[in-house]
Amino acid sequence: MSTYNSKSPIATEFIDDQEILETLKFAQENKNNSVLLNKILEKAALYHGLDYREAAVLLETNDENILERIFDLAREIKDKIYGQRIVMFAPLYLSNYCVNSCRYCPYHSKNKNIARKKLTQAEIAKEIIALQDMGHKRLALETGEHPEYAPIEYILESIKTIYSVKHKNGAIRRVNVNIAATTIENYKKLKEAGIGTYILFQETYHKPTYEYLHPHGPKHDYAYHTEAMDRAMQAGIDDVGIGVLFGLNLYRYDFVGLLMHAKHLEDSFGVGPHTISVPRIRPADDVDLKEYSNAISDATFKKIVAILRLAVPYTGIIVSTRESKESRQEVLDVGVSQVSAASCTSVGGYAEKELENSSQFEVNDERSLDEIVNWLLELGYIPSFCTACYREGRTGDRFMQLAKSGQISNCCQPNALMTLKEYLEDYASTETALKGEALITQEIERITNPKVKEIARNYLQQLHDGKRDFRF
């Protein structure tokens, strides 16, 4: 019997197996129900989102006309809310010592092939200089779970180091943190350290599969892991990022679980996830991909992203360099709003070329940051290095209110252009700089508020004259 309760603090009640199975059955039975499909699309066109059951019905349909309408609507919503802006970031791996045994990750404790490393503060500073010299302003901190090698004190010290390094005109202005589920006390410390988003992927919401994939270590505890975002929210971190690793379990089940999790956060804390990540499993050392027969096709992947865009219009969707250039292009078109770029998935790999294998997965897009910025400009996007919101205290429900009323675009558009301008002045190749300047000239005209437009023009001039770090 279903015990589903979206406001329950208990993992198996807000992610209820029975409710997911009934949702999937409902979706299967209604995949050709044109009256219902039309109703769902009409609701999505209001930009108020969809519930998990409605989204599941869309995911089940294979009707070409409906699919086209889903993609068109996803493009429309994306354009209306995010414009052409794409936020850029890079992951930074601090340590790959791990006490867990995740079957899909080469950092699992039993893997003897991989070189284990933990960066010292001096090595972190070197990594930051290398990242700043590329032009990055926003990071996602990654580390394995280990009480001795990566205790919370080490993470806090590392965050301090990262924010303190200022090389030439460089600065890391937002550190998002992706570390293992922890206590409310530790989340409070992360909040005090000035993190942006706390990110934790569920991997899979299917409890038996979750327990099979995490046979030992603290991560084995499904409830502790699934309830982590509640603890983070209770600790005052109001921007959280969720995600599943597609390919670990039946994607339909995880898709519904993901939206149920989003609803739980919204219903319990008044604010849904700030971001959703959509990684797909990739080859890695000591990981047998044959075990994961549930890997999803490119077409299904695109469908998932587009329906997420309809279901949670104001939640950022992130795609990493696990995806190829082609695949990233497809999903940028239908909903993705943030991409990682020029990522190194090994420990210490930005400052020094890797001698020993210590990477978490093989990247599928190896282009430099300049190549990616150039490519985005070519496609008509505005690469943005903006980090303004959390620095201005626009987080959690404050951010969501601004986003839902459309007011946030008064900040996003000028901030995107100003941070792009900084990139062009300090780091871009001549070709990228020319394209970028032309885009800025064109896009400044699209700022609708005359006062904001005037200030933005003034700031752009000051950036050209050598000043840095303006924001709305």
R_g of the chain, CA atoms, integer Å: 21
**90 versus 125: smaller Cβ distance to ligand SF4:** 90
Is the CB of residue 25 less than 8 Å from the CB of residue 41? Answer: no
Q: How many residues bind ligand SF4 (CB under 6 A)?
A: 20
Angle at alpha carbon of residue 204, lines to 288 and 234, rounded to 5°: 135
- 317 forms part of the interface with ligand SF4 (CB under 6 A): no
User: Is the separation of the CB atoms in 353 and 105 below 8 Å?
Assistant: no
Interaction between residue 105 and ligand SF4 (CB under 6 A): yes
Q: Pick out residues in 49-88 that bind ligand SF4 (CB under 6 A).
A: 87
Q: Alpha carbon of 207 to those of 53, 254, 444: distances in Å?
A: 20, 11, 49
Looking at the Cβ atoms of 125 and 463, the one nearer to ligand SF4 is 463
Least distance from ligand SF4 to the Cβ atom of residue 354, Å? 17
> Interface with ligand SF4 by CB under 6 A: which range of 57-65, 105-113, 220-228, 444-452?
105-113
Is residue 98 close enough to count as binding ligand SF4 by CB under 6 A? Answer: yes
Asked if residue 346 binds ligand SF4 (CB under 6 A), the reply is no
Nearer to ligand SF4, 64 or 288 (CB): 288
Q: Count Cβ atoms below 10 Å from residue 274 Cβ, excluding itself.
A: 27
> Encoding tokens for residue 18?
């029975």
Chosen residue from 175, 304, 411, 439 binding ligand SF4 by CB under 6 A: 411
CA distance 396 to 238: 5
Q: Could you tell me the smallest distance in angstroms from the CB atom of residue 104 to ligand SF4?
A: 7
The identity of residue 449, as a single letter, is N
Applying CB under 6 A, the span of 20-28, 31-39, 382-390, 433-441 interacting with ligand SF4 comes to 382-390
Strands, E assignment, 14-137: 85-95
x/- site string to ligand SF4, residues 173 to 202, per CB under 6 A? Answer: -------x----------------------
CA dist 407 and 404 (Å) reads 8
85-95 and 316-319: which strand pairing?
A: unpaired
**Which residue stretch of 36-44, 294-302, 411-419, 443-451 sits at the interface with ligand SF4 (rule: CB under 6 A)?**
411-419
At closest approach, how far in Å is the CB of 384 from ligand SF4?
A: 6
Cα–Cα distance measured from residue 86 to residue 370, given in angstroms and rounded to the nearest whole number = 14
Under 8 Å between Cβ of 15 and 257: yes
Q: Is 222 in the site for ligand SF4 (CB under 6 A)?
A: no
Candidates 49, 91, 135, 144: give the one binding ligand SF4 (CB under 6 A). Answer: 144
Strand 382-384 to strand 338-340: parallel, antiparallel, or no bridges (unpaired)? unpaired
Q: How is 378-400 classified by DSSP, letter by letter?
A: HTT-EEE---HHHHTT--HHHHH
Question: Which C-beta is closer to ligand SF4: that of 43 or that of 457?
Answer: 457
By CB under 6 A, is residue 219 in contact with ligand SF4? yes
Q: Which is nearer to ligand SF4, 23 or 275 (CB)?
A: 275
Residue 470 to residue 216: CA distance in whole angstroms: 48
Which of residues 23, 161, 204, 384 is near ligand SF4 by CB under 6 A?
Answer: 384
CB count within 10 Å of CB 77 equals 21
Answer for which of 31, 53, 78, 108 binds ligand SF4 (CB under 6 A) is: 108
Largest CA distance in the chain: 67
Q: Give min distance, CB of 117 to ligand SF4, in A.
A: 13
Contacting positions for ligand SF4 (CB under 6 A): 87, 98, 100, 102, 105, 107-108, 144-145, 180, 219, 384, 386-389, 408, 411-412, 415
